[in-house]
Amino acid sequence: MRTVTTITEVRAVLDGVRRQGNTVGLVPTMGALHAGHASLMDRAADECDVVTASLFVNPLQFTPEEDLASYPQDPAGDAQLAEDHGVDVLFRPAVAEMFGEAPLTTVSVAELTDRFEGASRPTHFAGVTTVVCKLCNIAGPCRAYFGEKDWQQLVVVTRMIRDLSFPVDVVGCATVREPDGLALSSRNTYLGAEARAAAPVIRRSLQAGADSLADGERDGARVRALMVALIEVEPLARLDYVDVVRADDLVPVERLHGELRLLAAVRFGPTRLIDNLGVTV
């Protein structure tokens, strides 16, 4: 595995890969890598000739009161995990390399970003789409791998790539979970023992919503109420939102049919966790 830190170098390497007739896979991450990230790398390694993963804690996607300064970092562990999961080129730029000059240009996606994570974290998605746009422009034509764990992000990025005709195929990858159902997240390391024990309530709530759909429930309000009630049973959990939406455009639905996503965001003390589950009825 080769580690590169400059835009010029990673671009030259990946241009060379394509000139030789090989395909490129891109896995954007913020580091503190875990088995969820590893699953994206494994899939990219299966489907592409050369895999590049980026490790960049993107300051643009943190709102001012968020955890940018304390975001977990593990450079040595990240390099090992990436190498073990088929990454050929690790792109690890400094903030100055990516945004040395504070950007005057940002890329933002309308409508899809005004709710859920966008409502709770204003400016977050413009930060995400700006950095993903930049990473795609740096990497060039490729397949880009994103986790379903961040469902809204996946929908937003897919739309940006379509709207702006990027030569990039977006690939969504299934959420990797702990044995007790908690979705893996770099932010899980913030949870104390009690909050960690309580956190699987998110997945139980989503699963209860999905089970009620499987049992024939078609009323959105009743599914939401069921999911809320389950989360409220857990004293350490503070609900941010739950909803049932159309999977492709995140519009909340009342009469449930088609491809749906159950979404949840819940706080445990200062730590905010998100998760989601897909259901087709």
By CB under 6 A, tell whether 30 contacts ligand AMP: yes
> Measured between alpha carbons, how far is 163 from 53 in angstroms, rounded to an integer?
24
Judge whether 37 counts as a catalytic residue.
Answer: yes
Amino acid at 150: D
Q: How far is CA 244 from CA 178, 207, 227, in A?
A: 23, 12, 10
Taking CB under 6 A as the rule, does residue 24 contact ligand AMP?
A: no
Number of neighbours of residue 156 by Cβ within 10 angstroms:
25
Q: Contact with ligand AMP (CB under 6 A): which of 146, 166, 190, 268?
A: 146
Given 175, 188, 212, 271, the residue binding ligand AMP (CB under 6 A): 175
Three-class secondary structure of residue 64 per DSSP = coil
Q: Which stretch binds ligand AMP (CB under 6 A): 95-103, 112-120, 169-177, 230-238?
A: 169-177
Rounded to whole angstroms, how far apart are CA atoms 158 and 248?
Answer: 10
Q: Which is nearer to ligand AMP, 29 or 113 (CB)?
A: 29
Strands (E), 56-211: 89-91, 142-147, 168-173
Instruction: Tell me: does residue 38 bind ligand AMP (CB under 6 A).
Output: no
Interface residue with ligand AMP among 13, 50, 139, 183 (CB under 6 A) is 183
User: Per rule CB under 6 A, is residue 231 in the interface with ligand AMP?
Assistant: no
CB 226 to ligand AMP: min, Å:
24
Interacting stretch for ligand AMP, rule CB under 6 A, among 77-85, 142-150, 242-250, 266-274? 142-150
CA angle 94, 96, 145 (to 5 degrees): 50
Q: Rounding to the nearest 10 degrees, give the CA dihedral for residues 99, 102, 105, 110.
A: 90
What are the residue numbers of the active site?
37
Binding site for ligand AMP (CB under 6 A): 29-30, 36-37, 39-40, 146-147, 149-150, 173, 175-176, 183-186
